[in-house]
Structure 1
Amino acid sequence: MNGRILFITHQLSRTGAPIVLLDMIKLCKRERADIDVITMMDGELGEQLHNMGIDYKIMERFYPEKERLLSEWSRYNLVVANTIVTYEVIHVLNGSKIPVIWWLHEGRQYFEYFASVIPHFGTIGSNIHTYAVSPYVKSVIKDIYKCDVPMMHFAVYGYEGEADKHYARKRDVVKFLTAGTFSKIKGQDVLAAAIRMLPDEYMKKAEFSFCGNEAAVDEEVYTSVCELEKDYNNVHMLHQLTRQQTISCMEDADCLIVPSRIEPLSAVAIEMMMTGGTVLCTDVCGIAYYVEDGENGYVTSSDDPQRLAESIIRVIDDYDNWEHIGKIGHQTYMKHFSREAVEPDIVRIVEKYMNLSKRIIFIKGKLETLDYFIDQLADSADKLGIEYYIINTGIPESYGEALEEYVKLGRCAVFMINQIGLLLSENGQNYWKERNIPVYDLIVDHPYNYADALECPPADINVIVIDRNHEKFIRKYYPEIRNIYFMPDGGNEAEGRMQYKDRPIDILYVGDCQLSTPFIEIPDMSDKGMEMYSTVYNILLQKPGLSIEETMELYFEAKGGYTKEQVKQYILNYGFIISDNVRRYYKLKTMHALESTGASIVIYGKGWDARDEAWQPNVSINARISSEECNRMLGKAKIGLNCMPWFKDGCSERVFNIMLNGAVCLTDTSKYLLERFEHGNELVFYNLEDMEKMKQNVCWLLENPNAASQIAQAGYEAAIRNDTWLCRMGEIAKMMGKMR
């Protein structure tokens, strides 16, 4: 449960709702949440918070400072507002991006009293998650506001005795206990009147003790109990006790009486069940929903001294049934209110709503394609309600004071592509490291192009790769990188795509063709590395399913005598040369095969005109276009060609762009794509070693437009569900949510 939680309560008195909130605070602290507390009124529980290392603030009003509080509280992952009295907190946060749990403990009279100031539960903002503490509170909200809210019980614990000894105990005098603030609501005056109605023979069999908060009492109620104590030797005023003292009294008592006129649940009744004792409660108590009269406790009418007196007589007469009732009552406690039953639910609810996502700082400004990716992610962040800030490396003002102000809001993470912005510094120190801001770096090329920062990370880097072989490569050679995630690029659907049957382009390819790269001499090899180049290059032509690094590793392993570090350096310094030449070979081979079909082929990209022979008239070579224009052109093509950038267990964005713009995706294979898609269903695979089969498939697609259209539609449906930039932004948010 990593994250920051703000708990807001109406008071810190040693009464029901503040006590159970304190227990929730303890639980969240045990689960490693950072806790802050605001109370509207100080009280005895403040000392316990200080002992836990939690400072708290006192604020009586919230709404007059709405704008300031919205800004300050935005650093929290969750706000928990306790009781209906914190309604101003709900008005402040209603409709904001800050998730709130509003935990309600009150009876009907409170809802009626606050009716003019609390928000309507049926129209409350989606960020406000209301929970009732009991079925009683739930039913009140349902009755008044005609809306259903879920329940969140509190756990009751702190008894170290043996419940079975309690409910098995037998003695001549029945000890009754009543615990609660002396007030009309708690109904001690009703109990005092009921005791006076008891026949003498039953008074001789009973003993009554009262305890409760005396800081703010109802004088009439308090006096009725004090006078009762004066008149009867078997009535005792225990005054205000600590919780542990109260539980000790429960352990000594046989039955707890809860005579309340209003009682949404009754923590003391649950505590009595915890110890194995018997409970007699009024029918307005929330606990009454869990008590079957005469089976696991006793239920009587509220605000009726005569019925309460009759129920007390019944308890005394039911002597032989106490053990059964105490045992079943304890089982009720274990099932509904024990830590084992309740705390996992509280943790689940809190984690469900905690906004653990970061405020994201995106960086762009170097390359058009990568800027396009960032723009798509930022647009997706908007749709997901994720806050973000964009640094444009071409606009110095974007990483000045405005950035610093955004960082001060807290909970930031930076997202970049290919390490653009990683080395941002201030006063000679890495900007991200100095501010403890985690970096998420999407590497869309082979990691060997970014070796320096992987070797000695200048900040807390979390690397995202688009090929699972790249993840293995980093784990093998760069142990300093602890967090590595696999996530292919996303795709984007452009506006204005044409109906399949109307598309004028048979085959479209958008991308460059690598130029032939001369083999660079390797000084520490006797033949300057020519044999290594030739061997690895030819192996890849024979076995195109192998990756560059895998093939080079196999070569040096066969040769023997090379350390892991030496092999790594050869891959870093010379692997790209082999990659460029192999990729050019297969791109030209693929395009030559397609050229021979006579289909109309349109290419946008560099390097294609550097071919020994001229292209046939059916092939149109054009200059590079923007990423957005590439997608628009895909919306005019029947078939979109993808030549994998030698990723053997991953995928680039081109596959999903083709699918999302309604063309049939024709692509060479990778392990990842073969796991995701079925040939002839969502796309069409081709084998680099069987160009003739590829030609046959292309001709079939062009001759069968209805079938081809169905493949294109299936591809679109698959990609729109799982492979848009919106999907990828969701994955990134989850990655960031796992980090502190």
Structure 2
Amino acid sequence: MRVVVFGVGGFYRKRKTVFDGVDVVCYLDNNYAGDALAELNVLAPEFICEYKYDVVVIMTDRFLDEITKQLLQLGCPKEKILSYNEFVSLMQQMGEKQCCMKIYYGADNQQNGSGKKVLLVSHDLSLTGAPIVLFYAAVNMKKMGYDVFVLSAFDGKLRERYTKQGITVFIDDSIIVGNIWLNRFLEYFDCCMVNTVTLHRLVECLDSLSIPTIWWLHEGEDIYNVEKIDAREKNAFRNISVYGVGRVACNTYRHYYHGNCKSLLYGIPNEESNRMIIKDGKVRLAMVGAIQKRKGQDILLDALSYISPEERRSMEVYIVGSTLVERNYADMIKKRAEDFSEVIMLDEMNHHDINDIYEKIDILVCTSREDPMPVVITEAFSKGIPCIVSTQTGSSEYITDGVNGFLVEPNPRLVANKITAIMKMDKEEIEKIGKKGYEIYRDKFSLPVFYSNLNVALCNLLD
């Protein structure tokens, strides 16, 4: 089968092994034309007419409709255009992609063999919000006496942290779409905990197998749209207990599935902080998170344009995050940031480096258009960093404006007004608000609170 691959960005790089042994005749991308990849040039889409192919596989999860329309305009037959999930299913049906599960055993293979076997399932093992908080859940379950295993569609830096904890990790990208072999594998476990909406097909499979399962949701409406999940008229599940990280995640699930969804907030460690108040006349703000429209970096930059140049001279603004999620949007943000000398753009950072940013800033800013429960805000709470938080986040339900944080609608002029008002406050007064914000972390997101709530959920599942 001759394949054209459309898209060689981050989505492709995580999943490129699916094309091992496949006859890829060319790679296309709207943004990468001319780059070298696998001894082939990445071409502009217009060159597709020069190749003979059986299918075109779109390797992105956010622009399927737009790219499909583009390919149709270029003369590609509709029946030859496949999404990544459709391609994996086709390969399995043709027998060209058998089980390719990789196994990484935990240190000393420390499963004790006496507890119930629990499988935690993640869409990837990156050092990002949802995968990280699932890791903390795994560590706690192991301490509680469960035999814990982890299954992930894609590998990542988190895998080594699991194996150091004595937890065996399985990697298999077919869990995104499911297969017969996977069903037999799942039946080995007493219960499962599946992380994120992305794995909704696997959840449907688990429900049919009658395996007690917790589905732990972290997403808002945009991911449901990406996954093309249609709203159901009634609850579709019999054996699935659904939990969400707060109001936004729970309400979004109820809208699409019309089933019960209870709140299960995540927990993160309380790491020692060496923050110091720098009295040099500057106010330092940071916005941390992937550069994408949902996160609203453009709202912050537009807000800066409403603040006078004189006031901006007393500011430092750090915008930190990966530019690979939405490349066109990220390019726009980088170009827009060049208009402001006080803005410092930084790429995605590891845990150690982001802590260096936390230690020097006065305020964390979140202007998200939608964000169910951003871990970055919780991290700021845990360090006593005052936060300006969008009302469209789940975190906002725990904040009283001006008492334990600052609330603002994700509107540039309102954000500008909020920032300038805070800049007129004494730094010690701002820090007092940050200390009250720490109480949100202590009472809602600390590991002891999370572990207690998780234990209740597991007991209810297995009763």
Report the TM-score when normalising by structure 1.
0.44
- Size of the aligned set, in residue pairs, is 349
State the partner residue of 1:305. 412
1:31 to 144, 150, 157: 144
* Deviation of the 1:90 alpha carbon: 1.1
Match for 1:218: what amino acid?
Answer: E
Match for 1:311: what amino acid?
Answer: K
* Deviation of the 1:118 alpha carbon: 8.2
1:60 to 173, 177, 200: 173
Spell out, residue by residue over 1:105-125, the C-alpha distance to the aligned partner (whole angstroms, 9 max, x if none): 111222344454687762311
Match for 2:425: what amino acid?
Answer: D
2:313 to 201, 204, 215: 204
* Contact 2:233–2:258 under 8 Å retained in 1: no
1:353 and 2:449 aligned: no
1:159 and 2:282 aligned: no
* Cα 1:326–1:129 shift into 2, 3 Å: same
State the partner residue of 2:250. 138
**Identity across aligned pairs (percent)?**
24
1:265 and 2:373 aligned: yes
SS of equivalent to 1:175:
strand
SS of equivalent to 1:37:
strand
* Cα 1:158–1:241 shift into 2, 3 Å: farther
RMSD: 2.5
* Contact 2:232–2:258 under 8 Å retained in 1: no
* Cα 1:231–1:62 shift into 2, 3 Å: closer
Structure 2 unaligned blocks of 5 or more: 1-113
* Deviation of the 1:158 alpha carbon: 4.4
* Contact 1:87–1:118 under 8 Å retained in 2: no
Match for 1:41: what amino acid?
Answer: F
Match for 2:439: what amino acid?
Answer: Q
State the partner residue of 1:107. 220
**Residues in 1 aligned to 2:331 and 2:189: alpha-carbon distance in whole angstroms:** 46
1:178 to 287, 291, 307: 287
**Residues in 2 aligned to 1:331 and 1:143: alpha-carbon distance in whole angstroms:** 31
Match for 2:370: what amino acid?
Answer: I
1:93 and 2:206 aligned: yes
2:345 to 232, 237, 242: 237
Superposition pairs for residues 127-526 of structure 1, below 5 Å? 127-161=239-273, 172-214=281-323, 216-302=324-410, 304-319=411-426, 321-354=429-462
* Contact 2:122–2:153 under 8 Å retained in 1: yes
* Deviation of the 1:284 alpha carbon: 0.9
SS of equivalent to 1:156:
coil
State the partner residue of 2:75. none
* Contact 1:188–1:221 under 8 Å retained in 2: no
* Deviation of the 1:226 alpha carbon: 2.8
* Contact 1:15–1:213 under 8 Å retained in 2: no
* Contact 1:2–1:32 under 8 Å retained in 2: yes
* Deviation of the 1:46 alpha carbon: 2.4
Larger Rg belongs to:
1
* Cα 1:142–1:191 shift into 2, 3 Å: same
* Deviation of the 1:329 alpha carbon: 0.6
SS of equivalent to 1:256:
strand
Higher RCO structure, 1 or 2 (CA under 8 Å, sep 6+): 2
**Residues in 2 aligned to 1:120 and 1:268: alpha-carbon distance in whole angstroms:** 35
**Residues in 1 aligned to 2:204 and 2:279: alpha-carbon distance in whole angstroms:** 54
SS of equivalent to 1:185:
helix
* Deviation of the 1:143 alpha carbon: 4.1
**Residues in 1 aligned to 2:170 and 2:232: alpha-carbon distance in whole angstroms:** 25
* Cα 1:15–1:204 shift into 2, 3 Å: same
**Residues in 2 aligned to 1:200 and 1:349: alpha-carbon distance in whole angstroms:** 52
* Deviation of the 1:19 alpha carbon: 1.4
Match for 1:317: what amino acid?
Answer: K
State the partner residue of 2:130. 17
* Cα 1:182–1:96 shift into 2, 3 Å: same
* Deviation of the 1:171 alpha carbon: 5.3
* Deviation of the 1:153 alpha carbon: 0.7
SS of equivalent to 1:294:
coil
SS of equivalent to 1:40:
strand
* Contact 2:176–2:198 under 8 Å retained in 1: no
* Deviation of the 1:199 alpha carbon: 0.8
